[in-house]
Amino acid sequence: MLKVENTCLGAGFRIKWGFILLIALFLQGCLDKEQKVKYKIGFSQCTTADAWRKAMDEEMKREISFNPEIQLITRDAENSSQKQNEQIKELLDEDIDLLIVSPNQAKPITPIIEKVYKEGIPVIVIDRKTSSSFYTAYVGADNYEIGKIAGKYVGEMLKGAGKIIEIRGLEGSSPAIERSRGFSESLKEFPNVEIVQKVYGQWEIDTVKQIFPKVIEGIKEADLIFAHNDIMGFGAYEVCKNLGLEENFYFVGIDGLSGPNAGLQFVSDGILDATFLYPTGGKKAIDLALDILNNQPVPKENILQTTIIDQNNIKVMKQQTDKIISQQKDIEKQEEMYRNQLEMYKNQKVLMYILLISFSISLIFGGYILYSLKEKQEINNVLQSKNREILQQRNQIEIIAQKAEEATQAKFKFFTNISHEFRTPLTLILASVEELQDLTKTYSKQLKKDFDLIQSNASRLLRLVNQLMDFRKIEHNKMKVLASPNNLVQFIKDIMAEFEIIASKKKIDFRLIKNVSHLEVWIDIGMFDKILFNLLSNAFKFTPKGGFINIGIESKVLENKVVLSIEDNGRGMSPNHVEHAFDRFYQGENYETFGTGLGLSLSRELIKLHHGEISVQSEKGKGSRFEITFPLGKNHFTSAELREENINKLDPSEFKYFLDSTNLVSLKENSSTPSKSNPSTLLIIEDNHELRELLAQKLGECYNIEEAANGKIGLDKAFDKVPDLIICDIMLPELNGLSITETLKNDLRTSHIPIMLLTAKTSDEQQIEGIQSGADAYITKPFKFRYLFEKIKSLLKNRQQLKERFSHELPIHKLPRSENKIDKKFLNDFIVKIEENIGDPSVGVNEIAQELGLSRVQLYRKVKALLGVGVNEYIKTIRLKKAKQLIQENDLTIAEIAHKVGFSTPAYFSTAFKAKYDVSPTEYSKQH
């Protein structure tokens, strides 16, 4: 699906960019079209230094501006014919379509103009002429004619007699030649009019101003100064004026140009007496050029009209020209406006194009977006249906996974339950075997061997079951470290002691090599016990007779760690075994070598919990070396993982299942077995028939036994018999062990009885629950009878010590300390009752029992259990102690005291007193 979308997007981008390119080209095309030049006109101007030339240029430009497709390229030759030649060549190089030229001088320019003309480029000659007729058209006034009119005019002005100074234009330029010729020609009609001096002013005011003072100096008499143009005439006037001679001469010029500092103004100001109009022809030249370029036929000679301007018509002329000037200005303004409009129009056109393009792009993109949306919608639909499918599949997988999880859990539960179930029969097997071993000591060696075999295999089975259960705990993160400070050296020594017998039997050199004599480490003693028993069991299993097993303790304080090693020279492992030594359930090449592989794997997990690691080096046939490294100190544990008190001494129940074989001694053979003369009564509440019987049988050797097969019967029997100790399973039909404990501990009649809970469950929580219910001890199955027996003994002994303490702690007001609140209260009430009735000999067991809400037997048992004496005996003891006190304190007679402490006769009092304190009350009174 994604691939499809990418392709669509790729195509989209291509279309988009292609389109934008097209639009850009189109726009470019439009703008190009706007600016495209259709014709280029080259204009070679001889000079642009004077107003007349400027007026010509202006006219041309104005005219050309109406034709934007035509470009006018102007070159200024600056009065140099050579430069004009070069410039014309340059214009040719620029591919001009037509040449307008106003030659500086005729001759020097003629060849290049002929060349241009012959190349087929139309040539318009303006104002000044060439020497040939190779040009397309000529524009200008007839200079010869102007010269003639001027001659005639001045002749008449001078009334047929006078002297003239002629200031000529540039030599070699056609107007200078023609004007001069026409002038002289005309003067022929006035024989008394003479040109006395010809001055070469080169059309320029500056030249005239420079040379004219000398000219004036030389000529003493002249009447009129005729200049070929107005500006030279003005120059002469200025010179004369400076000399104060301006009134001496008439001044006549040519051009009649309008505007300031030009002919018309000079006439109007009285500087010039007359001028002759010489139009620039700029407009005409452009009109002709356009016609020529548009292939229109044009006349070759385009002669412009001239006229005389003097004081007679200057006003009208000036008005007209001023009007023309103002109109021209208007035109220029309009032209400017037109240009602005045009510019605006161009901009608007571009804007319109842009808008059009944007609109088109929007349309296309809109279409494209709609198309994409549609396509996206389709893709989405497909994706959604795929999602639904995936969701369904996921749900199915979840259901399957859940079922699988349930099945696994069920399996594990079954597995755990089975393991639990295994423990009790295994305990029974082991116990029976112990018994049989005892009984058959004298029997044949073979029988003993068989029993040993049964025992070692049952132990092994038990060990495996326990290991499996540990794994289960590790898997469920329920295996928690509880590290406490221990002397590692002593700990190892204790464990080594367990293996001494087998070491000596197998003649194995079994040593501890250490670099410290005492090393405090923080370890979970139960876990380390398992680890070491496992490693040592393996070492002993695989080390042949006469071999060695070394345990090493190396403290590396600088590295803050300790290395514990177990090295043997036993069977060793192949490299493949070594690689998998710590893999769970790895069995090696044959079962013999490694067993189920559980032990090492479990050890590794337990070491990991200590933030340590285990490694092995081994060589087949040479032996193995296991190395455990773990940190010193306790910083690597969380506070919940620490148990501050030292428990260096192992509780045997913690390592019970690692021991392969232990020779249990018959209880009877033990020197500390309690005497059977006054046996205590034990109540065994256990639903497992075999275990109950076995316990009854074994413990029956030393105690009176009461049995109960379920919780309810157990509870009844407890109340009925008030035994000295109760052994009670937790998991019981009818009523569980915890409830039984709670009930008994909260009942005055039974609260003093020590209760020992017995169960297969080993979790900490259950132990805590058991203790919370008030149980005095908690023993997990499987257990060793020796341990159970010792525990019973110690509980009974504690009870006995308590009793002794209680009875010794009398006199009366000093109440004995009791663990149980109910017992404490009972003792308190009991003693108060005795004290209250101390003087009443009739108050005995029955009365007090009644007042305390107990039966006579219950009171008797309770008092016996707590204080170790009978009720009557206790009352008697209190009475005698009170009497003793009274003898010391008062002056009462013996008879009075006997009466006060509740003895019916003084004689009985004396006998009892003497029996208790080995002295008669009278003697005692005398002594004190």
Q: Which residues of this protein are in contact with ligand FRU, per CB under 6 A?
A: 47, 50, 52-53, 127-128, 169, 173, 175, 203, 229, 254-255, 278
Are the CB atoms for 353 and 27 separated by under 8 Å? yes
Closest approach of ligand FRU to the CB of residue 280, in Å: 9
Total Cβ atoms within 10 A of residue 922: 14
Q: What is the largest CA-CA distance in the chain?
A: 213
Q: Give the residue with the Cβ less far from ligand FRU, 258 or 534.
A: 258
Cα 475 to Cα 856: distance, rounded to the nearest angstrom: 56
Q: Give the residue with the Cβ less far from ligand FRU, 50 or 724.
A: 50
Closest approach of ligand FRU to the CB of residue 19, in Å: 59
The encoded tokens of residue 68 equal 């934007």
Helix (H) or strand (E) run with residue 82 in it? helix 81-93
φ/ψ of 251, rounded to 5, equals: -120, 125
Helix (H) or strand (E) run with residue 728 in it? strand 725-729
Residue 566: beta bridge partners?
551, 626
Closest approach of ligand FRU to the CB of residue 336, in Å: 28
Q: Give the residue with the Cβ less far from ligand FRU, 171 or 509.
A: 171
Q: Give the residue with the Cβ less far from ligand FRU, 117 or 203.
A: 203
Q: Tokens 């001890």 appear where?
A: 777
DSSP reduced 3-state for 202? coil
The encoded tokens of residue 846 equal 């029955």
Are the CB atoms for 70 and 290 separated by under 8 Å? yes
The encoded tokens of residue 774 equal 């008030």
Closest approach of ligand FRU to the CB of residue 351, in Å: 47
Q: Give the residue with the Cβ less far from ligand FRU, 128 or 514.
A: 128
Cα 106 to Cα 413: distance, rounded to the nearest angstrom: 129
Closest approach of ligand FRU to the CB of residue 189, in Å: 24
Q: Which residue is nearest to ligand FRU (CB)?
A: 229
Q: Give the residue with the Cβ less far from ligand FRU, 253 or 570.
A: 253
Q: Give the residue with the Cβ less far from ligand FRU, 175 or 235.
A: 175
Q: Give the residue with the Cβ less far from ligand FRU, 59 or 255.
A: 255
DSSP reduced 3-state for 759? strand
Q: Give the residue with the Cβ less far from ligand FRU, 49 or 815.
A: 49
- First-residue to last-residue Cα distance in the chain: 115
Closest approach of ligand FRU to the CB of residue 47, in Å: 6
Closest approach of ligand FRU to the CB of residue 250, in Å: 19
Angle between helices 282-293 and 51-65 (to 10 degrees): 40
Closest approach of ligand FRU to the CB of residue 66, in Å: 26
Closest approach of ligand FRU to the CB of residue 229, in Å: 3
Closest approach of ligand FRU to the CB of residue 242, in Å: 23
Residue type, 703: Y
Closest approach of ligand FRU to the CB of residue 31, in Å: 40
Q: Give the residue with the Cβ less far from ligand FRU, 229 or 751.
A: 229
Please compute, for residue 481, the number of CA atoms within 13 A of its CA located in the half-sphere on the CB side.
Answer: 22
CA atoms 236, 241, 244, 249: torsion sign: positive
Cα 605 to Cα 641: distance, rounded to the nearest angstrom: 16
Closest approach of ligand FRU to the CB of residue 274, in Å: 15
Total Cβ atoms within 10 A of residue 138: 22
818-824 — which CB contacts under 8 Å span 24+ positions?
A: 818/752, 818/866, 820/745, 820/751, 820/752, 820/774, 822/745, 822/746, 822/747, 822/748, 822/751, 823/751, 823/752, 823/866
Residue 614: beta bridge partners?
628
Are the CB atoms for 189 and 152 separated by under 8 Å? yes
Q: Which of 73, 77, 74 is nearest to 46 (CA)?
A: 77
Total Cβ atoms within 10 A of residue 250: 17
Total Cβ atoms within 10 A of residue 522: 22
Q: Give the residue with the Cβ less far from ligand FRU, 46 or 628.
A: 46
Cα 851 to Cα 846: distance, rounded to the nearest angstrom: 9
Q: Which of 414, 466, 408, 431 is nearest to 760 (CA)?
A: 466
Total Cβ atoms within 10 A of residue 879: 24
Please compute, for residue 662, the number of CA atoms within 13 A of its CA located in the half-sphere on the CB side.
Answer: 18
CA distances from 877 to 66, 452, 801, 814, 892 (A): 152, 56, 19, 14, 20
Closest approach of ligand FRU to the CB of residue 131, in Å: 15
Q: Give the residue with the Cβ less far from ligand FRU, 30 or 51.
A: 51
Q: Give the residue with the Cβ less far from ligand FRU, 227 or 488.
A: 227
Closest approach of ligand FRU to the CB of residue 172, in Å: 11
- Please report, for the chain, how many H helices and E strands are present, in that order: 30, 24
Closest approach of ligand FRU to the CB of residue 73, in Å: 20
**Bond preceding residue 485 cis, omega within 30 of 0:** no
Q: Give the residue with the Cβ less far from ligand FRU, 168 or 876.
A: 168
Q: Give the residue with the Cβ less far from ligand FRU, 256 or 921.
A: 256
